């Protein structure tokens, strides 16, 4: 089975979020980049488990610039046979998805795995877009994935519960919590990652449909009102009369 | 200007459906609703009260399959000539809206929290740690609105309901089974949430969390370690790597308030924090704070809510 895992970078979850250039750009000063947790913990690890069980290859695919190579090597250290970087700034989900779809179409994969969402832009967009561009079925927010022959059996989150479903490969699947356990790269993996192929390909001509014009930060909360732990009647009354939420 | 709104009406009309219709009305122009499934005509007609001019219902579709729905919505766009499509940013829209974006070559704004200002739409970014303002350059636009960020406004009159056939075709994803726990309020849509963390010491102590939630009519949630060690199911995990929620009230007991946890809940209108440690970081993000033992405070709060309900 040929598996393509889409990996994006995201700022370390403890990063201080700030903006520069008149609030038009994310301030990368002092920011550490990590592999987007959903892509690493679930999509990549499940891809590797399927390969270990049934053979095949796992390729990592990232739309990004040379600055992302360090993050791609981190992902390679966890496993995967090789990586491809499509050399462009992924500022628009449509643009990003069309790049991945073009690459995937010309290389033929049985499974294209993405994370549930990127934790910086939280769009949950790229997976569904790849599927439509390739005219493939898409299972969104899968929490379990097994493959028998050319049939995938999945569990996926739906409003208020989960559904069990089946789909014929090839298919695109976005991976959420529950699908696999996080793997910590070992020394051998880190050494091997240095020499694994990381192919850089030129982007296809695609228009961008959206752009982030500016950013701002939420207003600071006013001071917290402390309430006597013995007096929960007071809290209830404040929630009703002052905050008006109950 | 003409707007098409997709709503899921399989289980009747959710509050989020009224939110998106109200939102579409604020955009100006005609508002057509497209829906599928079995909702009855009079409840669909009531969407007129929130601003719909007309409801199209495709009763030949009885699944939530993203490929099928994308085709149906695309043909409704063609029929109505809509230039904007609005979704509620729920689990179904997360699968359908991106597909539709590619099919129509329409820029998608995912997770909008306000109406456009000067052509820019405000969205949550960095898991709620910041806001971004998105501009769409394509002629057609898709906006998917975060649940509970816009209040429904009724007051209009009922509208017409028309049968529609969008030629959705057969789903390629075969649904074998659906598991929905009875009587639970889905977390992303809940207006009140009671949440607890490692401070509760063990799963056997969750009764007091559930009691309070039940008394309030709230959903329950938890911090990530609690879901990771299996004290609570994964779908209750809120935060940067779990569900992001924006309820009216979020009560957190025995949760320290790590930055990754706050990221998923700081869109809540009011936050109440219960923690034994007065230095817990969560107090900085709280509106009301109680320094105390959750094992005593939670049951006391449940009693106080009971008393309040009895006298109101
Ligand atoms: C990449 C990454 C992503 C993450 N994503 C998330 C996420 O999405 N969501 C998330 O929640 N976390 C996330 N985390 C973990 C996060 O950093 C914290 O470790 C976690 O939120 C702590 O959970 P907690 O508050 O339940 O436990 P603790 O930090 O152990 O806090 C327990 C709290 O309970 C209090 N307490 C103890 N006893 C009592 C009592 N009797 N009554 C009242 N209070 C009491 C203590 O004072 C303490 O403040 C992530 C971490 C990383 C590295
Ligand atoms: N620049 C990128 N390169 C490769 N994959 C990406 C990129 N951006 C997003 N993805 C994938 O698409 C998923 C959803 O991203 P998003 O739509 O931004 O929430 C991520 O979890 C990744 O798997």
Q: Which of B187, B197, B251, B290 to mutate to test the pocket of ligand 1 (most atoms within 8 A of CB)?
A: B197
Contacts of B119 in chain A (CB under 8 A): none
Q: What is the pLDDT of residue B241?
A: 87
- Test A225 with B300 for CB contact under 8 angstroms: no
pLDDT at B289 over 80: yes
Q: What is the pLDDT of residue B181?
A: 77
What integer is the mean pLDDT of A223-244? 96
Mean pLDDT of chain A: 95
Distance separating alpha carbons of residues B56 and A43, to the nearest angstrom: 38
Tokens 């309040």 found at: B308
pLDDT at A43 over 90: yes
Q: A119 — contact with chain B (CB < 8 Å)?
A: yes
How large is the ipTM? 0.92
Contacts of A19 in chain B (CB under 8 A): 130
- Name the band, by pLDDT with cuts 50, 70 and 90, for residue B180: confident
What integer is the mean pLDDT of B49-63? 94
Lowest-pLDDT range, A162-176, B154-168, B180-194?
B180-194
pLDDT at B248 over 80: yes
- Closest partner residue to B288 (CB to CB) among A120, A141, A225 is A225
pLDDT at A216 over 80: yes
Helix segments in A162-244, DSSP class H: 187-195, 232-241
What integer is the mean pLDDT of B186-212? 95
pLDDT at A234 over 80: yes
Q: A23 — contact with chain B (CB < 8 Å)?
A: no
- Name the band, by pLDDT with cuts 50, 70 and 90, for residue B234: confident
Cα A156 to ligand 1 centroid, rounded to whole Å = 26
Q: What is the pLDDT of residue B63?
A: 84
Q: What is the pLDDT of residue B38?
A: 77
Give the closest-approach CA distance of A93 to chain B in angstroms.
8
Q: What is the 3-state secondary structure (H, E, C) of B140-170?
A: CEEEEECCCCCCCCCCCCCCEEEECCCCCCC
pLDDT at B73 over 90: yes
Residues within 8 A of B (CB atoms), A 209-238 only: 209-218, 221, 224-230, 232-233, 235-238
Q: What is the pLDDT of residue B18?
A: 95
pLDDT at A122 over 80: no
What integer is the mean pLDDT of A14-33? 93
What integer is the mean pLDDT of B172-178? 95
3-class SS of residue A110:
coil
Q: Which atom of ligand 1 is nearest to the CA of B255?
A: 25
- Name the band, by pLDDT with cuts 50, 70 and 90, for residue A219: confident
Number of residues that make up chain A: 246
Long-range contacts formed by B174-177: CB under 8 A, 24+ apart: B174/A165, B174/A166, B174/A167, B175/A163, B175/A164, B175/A165, B175/B63, B176/A153, B176/A163, B176/A164, B176/A165, B176/A166, B177/A163, B177/A164
Cα B182 to ligand 2 centroid, rounded to whole Å = 34
Most B CBs within 10 A among A135, A140, A207, hence the mutation to make, goes to: A140
Give the closest-approach CA distance of A195 to chain B in angstroms.
31
Mean pLDDT of chain B: 94
Ligand 2, atom 21, residue with closest C-alpha:
A115
Q: What is the pLDDT of residue B39?
A: 85
- Name the band, by pLDDT with cuts 50, 70 and 90, for residue B121: very high
Cα B306 to ligand 1 centroid, rounded to whole Å = 29
Q: What is the pLDDT of residue B150?
A: 85
Cα A217 to ligand 2 centroid, rounded to whole Å = 23
Q: Give the tens place of pLDDT for each residue, A143-194.
A: 999 999 999 999 999 887 899 999 999 999 999 988 999 999 999 999 999 9
Ligand 1, atom 49, residue with closest C-alpha:
B256
Contacts of A37 in chain B (CB under 8 A): 241
What integer is the mean pLDDT of B198-225? 97
Residues within 8 A of A (CB atoms), B 10-69 only: 64, 66-67
Q: What is the pLDDT of residue A4?
A: 98
Q: Which of A158 and A106 is assigned the larger pLDDT?
A: A106
Q: Which atom of ligand 2 is nearest to the CA of A127?
A: 12
- Name the band, by pLDDT with cuts 50, 70 and 90, for residue B244: confident
Q: Give the tens place of pLDDT for each residue, B295-310.
A: 999 999 999 999 999 9
Ligand 2, atom 12, residue with closest C-alpha:
A126
Ligand nearest to the CA of A37: 1
Q: What is the pLDDT of residue B127?
A: 78
């Amino acid at each position: 089975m040929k598996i393509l895992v889409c990996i994006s970078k995201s700022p370390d979850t403890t990063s201080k979020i700030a903006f520069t250039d008149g609030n038009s750009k994310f301030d990368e000063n002092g920011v550490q980049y990590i592999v987007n947790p959903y892509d690493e913990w679930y999509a990549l690890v499940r891809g590797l488990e399927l390969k270990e069980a049934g053979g095949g290859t796992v390729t990592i695919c990232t739309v990004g610039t040379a600055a992302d190579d360090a993050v791609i090597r981190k992902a390679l250290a966890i496993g995967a046979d090789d990586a491809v970087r499509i050399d462009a700034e992924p500022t628009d989900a449509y643009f990003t998805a069309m790049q991945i779809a073009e690459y995937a179409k010309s290389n033929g994969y049985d499974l294209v795995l993405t994370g549930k969402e990127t934790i910086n832009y939280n769009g949950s967009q790229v997976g569904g877009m790849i599927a439509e561009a390739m005219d493939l079925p898409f299972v969104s927010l899968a929490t379990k994935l097994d493959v028998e022959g050319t049939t995938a059996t999945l569990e996926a989150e739906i409003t208020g519960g989960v559904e069990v479903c089946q789909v014929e490969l090839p298919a695109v699947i976005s991976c959420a919590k529950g699908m696999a356990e996080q793997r910590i790269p070992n020394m051998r993996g880190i050494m091997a990652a240095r020499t694994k192929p990381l192919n850089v390909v030129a982007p296809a001509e695609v228009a961008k449909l959206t752009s982030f014009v500016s950013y701002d930060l939420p207003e600071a909360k006013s001071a917290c009102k402390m309430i006597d732990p013995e007096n929960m009647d007071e809290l209830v009354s404040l929630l009703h009369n002052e905050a008006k939420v109950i | 200007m003409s707007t098409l709104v997709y709503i899921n009406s399989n289980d009747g009309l959710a509050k989020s459906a009224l939110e998106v219709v109200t939102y579409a009305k604020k955009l100006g122009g005609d508002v057509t609703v497209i829906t599928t499934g079995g909702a009855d005509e009079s409840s669909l007609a009531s969407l007129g009260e929130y601003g719909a001019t007309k409801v199209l219902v495709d009763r030949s579709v009885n699944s939530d399959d993203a490929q099928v729905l994308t085709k149906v919505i695309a043909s409704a766009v063609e029929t109505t000539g809509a230039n904007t499509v609005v979704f509620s940013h729920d689990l179904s829209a997360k699968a359908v809206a991106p597909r539709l974006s590619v099919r129509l070559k329409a820029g998608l704004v995912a997770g909008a929290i306000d109406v456009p200002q000067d052509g820019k739409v405000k969205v949550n970014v960095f898991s709620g740690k910041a806001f971004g303002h998105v501009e769409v350059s394509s002629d057609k636009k898709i906006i998917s609105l975060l649940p509970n960020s816009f209040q429904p406004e009724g007051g209009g009159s009922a509208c017409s309901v028309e049968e529609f056939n969008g030629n959705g075709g057969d789903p390629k994803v075969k649904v074998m089974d659906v598991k929905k726990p009875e009587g639970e309020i889905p977390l992303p849509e809940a207006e009140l949430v009671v949440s607890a963390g490692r401070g509760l010491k063990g799963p056997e102590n969750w009764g007091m969390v559930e009691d309070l939630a039940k008394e309030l009519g709230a959903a329950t949630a938890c911090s990530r370690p609690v879901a990771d060690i299996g004290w609570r199911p994964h779908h209750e995990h809120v935060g940067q790597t779990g569900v992001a929620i924006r309820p009216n009230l979020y009560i957190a007991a025995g949760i320290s308030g790590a930055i990754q946890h706050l990221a998923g809940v700081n869109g809540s209108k009011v936050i109440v924090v219960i923690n034994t440690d007065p230095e817990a970081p969560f107090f900085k993000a709280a509106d009301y704070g109680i320094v105390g033992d959750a094992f005593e405070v939670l049951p006391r709060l449940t009693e106080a809510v009971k008393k309040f309900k009895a006298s109101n």
